Structure formats: structure tokens, C-alpha cells
């Protein structure tokens, strides 16, 4: 008997590496090496490989190659964007912990920008919170838990008008939607766009002051010291180039799969409610709640895992704190019990209609078979 192939529906947590990316990286894990700071041929080749990747990433980010600062993750890039800011800093209430926790550590007054029940920031809510001492506004391009897209161009215009720096965490957006708006500081990460884990970039417009987190040998314009991870940088570059070239085609099929999934859920699982704005969302992102089974997401996830399908509750980053409700869901108005009931499906380049159909075959039975026992426990805990 052949083992049933697993279905991976957790592309918002991380994406499988594209085989073309792996091909590009392989030489740098073997025959090719060299320190990009060395003057000999091996060093010059390594430098050329980094420069090429910098161009590929810049093209995806609609930026100039000299604006790209490679970091070891999206988290590090978010921290670098915020580090050293003082005065008054505005961040949206649904930012990733990489922004929220970095903001909390600042020697600044940090204010949260609220979001509507659809998970979208109203530009006016940014405008009316700006003060004379506001140094930075940070609003993500797309949310990792509910997939909603933010009005980045409008928020940038307000920040420009008031001479305030604007940072946007585009870790979920990069490679999925065009990054047309040139913001002052933009974060991206390779492992969300079919590249390797452990490599990211902060795209920093020239002239924007940054305070390095890591000091040393002066790499990356002196803003991020350490010998470069060339294989990862080359992989990031290849992934960015593929995403830039193929985004439109990828999205056509991913959106079609998302709609197939939503239609199927609507007819087969009528107690299912989509969370977040219906259309202002990432192509492959569906987070939903089962009415009457609030608090059940972990049991649903485990039952689906058993059936060979990988999904997520809230975000992978909070798996270690799985019993805590997602702060994104509470920020959009869910109480703790409902917030524990959200299931996230994130489709990607390597999913197929067959995957969606298999999910639709097994999910209704799983949803029916789980009795909402934990609701009682959570209700007690709340009282």
C-alpha cells in the first residue's frame, strides 16, 4: 500500500523550497565558497553572487539594489527598522510579534493603531494619532493570521505629508502581491516565498537613519555586520526573481483554488464564517471559524493532521503558546473563546485543485465529529 501524500496548507508559516531555488543554492553548499570580503577570485565570485541576489531582491521590492540590507530573518529586519527610535511610535494592533515586541523594547512611547472588525487599518486612524514627536509608523502590508491587506499607499502619503518615517512588514505580502508603494523601510523574508529559512532583508531608502543591531566587520553598509550566508542569499535572490516573474500566473491559480475552497465550505460546512475582509486579502489565505465549535481549532488541526493535511490555528509563531488566543483576533473584536476557534488555511504555488477537493471531502466529517467539549472549560475559565 502506498502512503497517502500529505497536503500542505500552511504556506503562511513557511513555504516549501522551490526546486529551482535549491538548484541555485547547491553550488554554494559545495564547490563554490569564499568570503565576499576577500580580494582573491573566490572572494570576488562570492561578492558577485551577493550583488546579483541584491538586484533580484530589489526588483521584487521595487527598490534600488543599494537599499537592500540582508539580515538573518524577517524578525531581524523588523527589529532593525525599529531599533533606536524614540519619541512617539505608532504600530498597528495586529502587527507580527517581531514588530510588537521590538516596539515594546524601545525607549519610546508606543501607541497601537486600532483595526476594524474586517482587520483593516483606517488611514484616518493613523492621521489623527500623529504627533509632533512621532518618529515612526509601522503597518504591515498583509496580516499573517487573517491575510487582510492594508492601505499602504494611503498611509505612506499621510506619513510623507507629516515627515514621519513609514515602515511596512511585507513578509506575508512579498511574492504574493506587487510591492508598488515605495515605503521608507520594508521587511521581507525568503522562506515565505519558496526560498530558504534564515534569510531576510530590510529595504531601507537611502538617507533613512538606522541603528545597527549587530556591529563588527562593516558588511551590509555597516548596518549588519557578519560574514554573509551566501547560499541563503543566493537562494533568496532566486526565489525573489521567480516570484517577480511568476506572481501573476501563481496568483491566478491560487485565487481559483481559494474560491473553490470557499464555495465548497459554504455548501458543505454551513456554520463556517470567513474572518477578515472578503476581498482585501492575500490570494491564498483563508481563516475561518466554525460557529458552535468555538475554541476547537487545535482539535480540528490535529484531526486534519491525522488525515494527512497540515493547517494552522492563528499563526505558527504562536504554536508554543497555543492555548493563548491570537492577539490579532482579539484586536478585531473576538472574545477569547471565539479567538481560539480560528483555523488558517494558506494555499501556495505547489497546491492543486485535488488538494482542495480532498480537504473538502474530509473536513465536513471532522467538523461534525468533534463535540465542542472545550467550550465548557474555556467558559468556566472566563467566569
Which residue bears the cell 554573509? 228
Q: Which is nearer to ligand PLP, 18 or 78 (CB)?
A: 78
Task: Rule CB under 6 A: choose which of 56, 75, 92, 219 binds ligand PLP.
Answer: 75
**172 binds ligand PLP per the rule CB under 6 A:** yes
Nearest distance in Å: CB 114, ligand PLP: 18
**Closest-approach residue to ligand PLP (CB):** 74
What's the CA gap between 159 and 215, in Å, rounded? 30
Residues with catalytic annotation?
317
Task: Rule CB under 6 A: choose which of 79, 134, 144, 326 binds ligand PLP.
Answer: 144
Determine the size of the site formed for ligand PLP (CB under 6 A): 15
Task: Please name which of 213, 234, 188 lies closest in space to residue 74, comparing C-alpha atoms.
Answer: 188
Task: Please name which of 379, 292, 276, 296 lies closest in space to residue 343, comparing C-alpha atoms.
Answer: 296
Q: Which is nearer to ligand PLP, 74 or 295 (CB)?
A: 74
Residues in the chain: 383
Helix (H, G, I), strand (E, B) or coil at 236: helix
Helix (H, G, I), strand (E, B) or coil at 166: strand
Nearest distance in Å: CB 35, ligand PLP: 24
- Other C-beta atoms within 10 Å of 31: how many? 7
Nearest distance in Å: CB 265, ligand PLP: 24
Give the DSSP per-residue string, 292-330.
T-TT-HHHHHHHHHHTTEE-EES-GGGGGGTTSPPHHHH
What's the CA gap between 105 and 211, in Å, rounded? 14
Query: Interaction with ligand PLP in 305-324: which residues (CB under 6 A)?
Result: 317
Task: Rule CB under 6 A: choose which of 58, 61, 81, 98 binds ligand PLP.
Answer: 98
Tell me the backbone φ, ψ of residue 214, rounded to 5 degrees.
-125, 120
Query: Interaction with ligand PLP in 10-69: which residues (CB under 6 A)?
Result: none
Q: Using an 8 Å Cβ cutoff, are 326 and 289 in contact?
A: no
Find the part of the chain contacting ligand PLP (CB under 6 A) among 70-78, 115-123, 216-224, 225-233.
Answer: 70-78
What's the CA gap between 298 and 313, in Å, rounded? 7
Nearest distance in Å: CB 54, ligand PLP: 18
Q: Which is nearer to ligand PLP, 142 or 367 (CB)?
A: 142
**140 binds ligand PLP per the rule CB under 6 A:** yes
- Other C-beta atoms within 10 Å of 52: how many? 16
Q: Which is nearer to ligand PLP, 171 or 275 (CB)?
A: 171
Nearest distance in Å: CB 189, ligand PLP: 3
All three cell numbers of 266: 459554504
Query: Interaction with ligand PLP in 321-380: which residues (CB under 6 A)?
Result: none
What's the CA gap between 141 and 3, in Å, rounded? 39
Sign of CA dihedral 311, 314, 315, 318: negative
Non-local CB neighbours of 32 within 8 Å, separated by 6+ positions: 42, 45, 46, 49
- Contact track, ligand PLP, 178-217, x by CB under 6 A: -----------x-x--------x-----------------
Nearest distance in Å: CB 198, ligand PLP: 8
**148 binds ligand PLP per the rule CB under 6 A:** no
Nearest distance in Å: CB 110, ligand PLP: 17
- Which residues in this chain contact ligand PLP in the complex, by CB under 6 A? 73-75, 78, 96, 98, 140, 144, 169, 171-172, 189, 191, 200, 317
Amino acid at each position: 500500500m502506498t502512503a497517502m501524500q500529505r497536503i500542505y496548507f500552511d504556506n503562511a508559516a513557511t513555504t516549501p523550497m522551490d526546486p529551482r531555488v535549491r538548484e541555485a543554492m547547491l553550488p554554494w553548499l559545495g564547490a563554490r565558497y569564499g568570503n565576499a570580503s576577500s580580494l582573491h577570485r573566490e572572494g570576488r565570485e562570492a561578492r558577485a553572487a551577493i550583488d546579483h541576489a541584491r538586484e533580484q531582491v530589489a526588483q521584487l521590492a521595487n527598490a534600488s539594489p543599494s537599499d537592500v540590507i540582508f539580515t538573518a530573518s524577517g524578525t531581524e529586519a523588523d527589529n532593525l527598522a525599529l531599533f533606536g527610535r524614540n519619541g512617539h511610535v505608532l504600530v498597528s494592533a495586529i502587527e507580527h510579534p517581531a514588530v510588537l515586541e521590538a516596539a515594546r523594547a524601545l525607549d519610546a512611547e508606543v501607541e497601537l493603531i486600532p483595526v476594524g472588525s474586517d482587520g483593516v487599518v483606517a488611514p484616518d486612524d493613523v492621521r489623527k494619532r500623529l504627533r509632533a514627536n512621532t518618529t515612526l509608523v509601522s503597518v504591515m502590508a498583509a496580516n499573517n493570521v487573517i491575510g487582510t491587506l492594508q492601505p499602504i499607499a494611503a498611509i505612506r502619503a499621510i506619513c510623507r505629508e507629516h515627515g514621519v518615517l513609514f515602515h511596512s512588514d511585507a513578509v506575508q505580502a512579498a511574492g504574493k502581491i506587487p510591492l508598488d508603494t515605495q515605503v521608507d523601510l520594508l521587511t521581507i523574508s525568503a522562506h515565505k516565498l519558496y526560498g530558504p529559512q534564515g534569510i531576510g532583508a530590510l529595504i531601507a531608502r537611502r538617507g533613512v537613519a538606522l541603528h545597527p543591531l549587530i556591529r563588527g566587520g562593516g558588511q551590509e553598509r555597516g548596518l549588519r555586520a557578519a560574514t554573509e550566508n551566501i547560499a541563503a542569499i543566493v537562494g533568496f535572490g532566486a526565489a525573489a526573481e521567480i516570484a517577480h516573474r511568476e506572481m501573476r500566473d501563481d496568483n491566478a491559480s491560487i485565487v481559483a483554488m481559494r474560491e473553490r475552497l470557499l464555495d465548497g465550505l459554504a455548501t458543505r460546512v454551513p456554520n463556517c464564517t470567513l474572518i477578515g475582509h472578503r476581498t482585501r486579502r492575500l490570494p491564498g489565505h483563508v481563516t475561518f471559524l466554525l460557529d458552535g465549535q468555538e475554541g476547537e481549532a487545535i482539535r480540528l488541526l490535529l484531526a486534519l493532521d491525522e488525515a494527512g493535511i497540515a493547517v494552522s490555528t492563528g499563526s505558527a509563531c504562536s504554536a508554543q503558546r497555543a492555548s493563548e488566543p491570537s492577539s490579532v483576533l482579539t484586536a478585531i473584536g473576538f472574545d477569547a473563546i471565539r479567538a481560539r476557534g480560528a483555523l488558517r488555511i494558506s494555499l501556495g504555488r505547489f497546491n492543486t485543485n485535488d488538494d482542495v477537493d480532498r480537504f473538502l471531502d474530509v473536513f465536513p466529517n471532522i467538523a461534525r465529529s468533534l463535540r465542542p467539549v472545550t467550550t465548557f472549560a474555556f467558559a468556566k475559565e472566563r467566569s
